[in-house]
Amino acid sequence: MINILNALSLWILPCIIIYILIYALLKKTPAYEAFVDGANEGFKIAIKIIPYLIAIMVCTALFRASGAIDIIENLLKPVLDYFKIPIETTIIMLTRSLSGSATLGVLADIINQTGVNSYATKLAAVITGSSETTFYVASVYFGAVGIKKFRHALLAGILADIAGIVAAVYVCSIFFL
């Protein structure tokens, strides 16, 4: 079962790429030019996140090195152990809704700390990949058209984020434990 699921994960990407390329071929799209244009965008994004990455990684590195995190770790440990949640991933659950760049920083930090093939990394990656930065999206979209009364939009977004985290813990325990 797990093998089939892993194989499916492995095939999704090549299939999407081949489909996109064949479609472009049939439509006679200048695929090479389009690719180069798009790739240029990737360069800009990677450069743009450097300041955020530095800020977050320095913060968390300092916090860890200071020994302060040991205290929190001991307080939360029994609950987290019960659900088999690695302690390192608690920070990402808190930052996911607040800041997208911060979350990428925390993810990078978890990889740095626990190794790229650890369960903590996989859980954090799924949490990061499966959600958006609720507060950022709300401020951009409603801000753009001058909406001041958000009504139930934020609450619904946060509840969905929580549902996503619970689902991530459960799904990851099936796939990766």
Partner 1 sequence: MNYIFIFLIIISFVCAAINHRLDIAVDEMLAASQKAVEIAFGLIGIMGFWLGIVNIAKKSGLMDVLSRLIQKPLLLIFPDIKDNKEAQSNIALNISANALGLSNAATPFGIKAMENLQSQNKDKTKATNSMCTFLAMNTAGFQIVPAVVIAILSANGMENPTQIILPTLIVTSIAFISALFFVKVLERFYK
Site for partner 1 in 30-49 (CB under 8 A): 30-31, 34-43, 45-47, 49
Shortest Å distance, C-beta 77 to partner 1: 19
Site membership for partner 1, residue 20 (CB under 8 A): yes
Q: Which sign does the torsion angle of CA 56, 138, 132, 120 carry? A: positive
Query: Per CB under 8 A, which of residues 54..93 are in contact with partner 1?
Result: 54-68
Q: Rounded to whole angstroms, how far apart are CA atoms 163 and 168?
A: 9
Site membership for partner 1, residue 177 (CB under 8 A): no
Q: Among residues 51 and 79, whose Cβ is nearest to partner 1?
A: 51
Span near partner 1 by CB under 8 A; candidates 7-15, 73-81, 82-90: 7-15
Query: Per CB under 8 A, which of residues 105..134 are in contact with partner 1?
Result: 105, 107-109, 111-112, 116-117, 121-122, 125-134
Residue 146, phi then psi, degrees to nearest 5: 80, 25
Q: Among residues 78 and 152, whose Cβ is nearest to partner 1?
A: 152
CA-nearest of 123, 96, 125, 92 to 106 is: 92
Q: Using DSSP, state whether 164 is helix, strand or coil.
A: helix
Q: Rounded to whole angstroms, how far apart are CA atoms 130 and 46?
A: 20
